[in-house]
Amino acid sequence: MEVHNLFSHFHSHDVPEEKLIIQGGKELSGHVTISGSKNSSLALLAATLCCNGISKFQNVPVSLSDIQKMILVLQSLGGRFEYNRINGEMFVETNGVVSAEPDHVAVSEIRGGFFVLGPLLSRFGEAVVALPGGCDIGARPVDLYIRGLHALGALVEIKCGKGRRLRGGSFYLDYPSVGATNTLMMAATLAHGVTKLSNVAQEPEVNDLAQFLIKCGAEIDGAGTSNLLITGKHKIYGCDEHVIMPDRIEACTFAIAAAITRSCLSISPVVPSHLTSLLDKLKSAGCRITQTAHDTIHVSGIREENGIDPLEGGIDIQTGPYPEFPTDLQPQMLAFLTTCNGQSVVRETVFEGRMGHVRELQKMGAKIQVYGNSATIYGGSNLCGSSGVLAHDLRGGASLVLAGLAASGTTEIDGVFHIDRGYEDLQSKLQSLGANVKRSSFNYYNI
């Protein structure tokens, strides 16, 4: 079955406005299966542009709107896809790619669309790529991408990069940006000579990309560390099979769901070491966390037999690059802390505009004060359902879902399309755990 026939009609403006309606106050229970990583998948799909032949992936979260848009980006270049719904395999073939200018609308709608810049420059010596889109949570400048590509010999203007085959070079990232690291690593894979990248991002998703490229024949030393040494190859070839890592942000969101609803959930597959920064904070709040298998954790926030709430706030959190606390979990954790006793402080250091969810949580009774990029949470809030909360971005939307699960009464969340960008089958997964969740109108473009 060819995916491009199924996705050719997909655009965000085709999706009707929907509300997510949550009847809160229900204890959750059971097991939740974690999908493949959205952030890994976006980079891995872009990386197929570096390859000759066919690449086979397992665990692609193909129903996510961001993934569907990335497929549109690659299709606009000539990429071909096949997807087996039964076993979840995806085949990507990019031999027919002849254009260095992807569809501008598709690229501008997702942050990951910009990942194609590095592979296209390496493959064709030129690329014309629209500036990236995604959530409105801050500037997220692309200057690191531009300066890094300059170091590899590209002549880059604000909307166009061109030149002969890239050559190896050295570049130090002022900030360990995941996007810049991925883009430069892919570009260096086909550059002539040796490239040294310093102070790169160490997120597991970056290592997932590196391991895929190595399977395809790339020579990358230092994957998973802050320094990469990449010896460029004239060609690399499609990978026989690559299993995309579990989505650690989704896994952590469900861990917080167990905590905020004072429930017990089993979560797999996960890589427990990827979740340490979040699980440590949940343990500090009083949650009980056990690892029952190499890829399975149990998270419990259940009240004591005498009815006393065992979870306490008084926790300080500061976001930062991996292995520090992820910015993509800041909104969800902030929602949880409103339900704990004590006063907590959350400091956002990655994105300057990532506190938009606070005013929505305040509509539900949360006691939070924001000072710049810091929020003081006065715990013990009795959250109440609200009919007028809006998801301004993906992770902020997830925080409202969590708050709605814990609140008394009914919560109606607008802007659901943001949530659909990063959580696969969220509604059905929550329903399987006992949550009362539905949509005002259900109209997915699913495979």
Q: Show which residues are catalytic.
A: 135
CB 173 within 8 A of CB 198: yes
214 torsion bin: left (phi>0), alpha (psi -120 to 50), beta (else): alpha
Beta bridge partners of 210: none
Q: Please name the residues in contact with 308: beta carbons below 8 A apart, sequence gap of 6 or more.
A: none
- On whether the CB atoms of residues 99 and 71 are closer than 8 A, the answer is no
Distance CA 274, CA 310 (A): 26
Contact partners, residue 1, CB within 8 Å, separation at least 6? 82, 83, 84, 85, 447
- Contacts of residue 61, defined as CB under 8 A and 6 or more positions apart, other chains included, come to 35, 36, 37, 38, 41, 67, 247, 424
d(CA 33, CA 44): 22
Report the DSSP pairing between strands 343-347 and 316-318: parallel
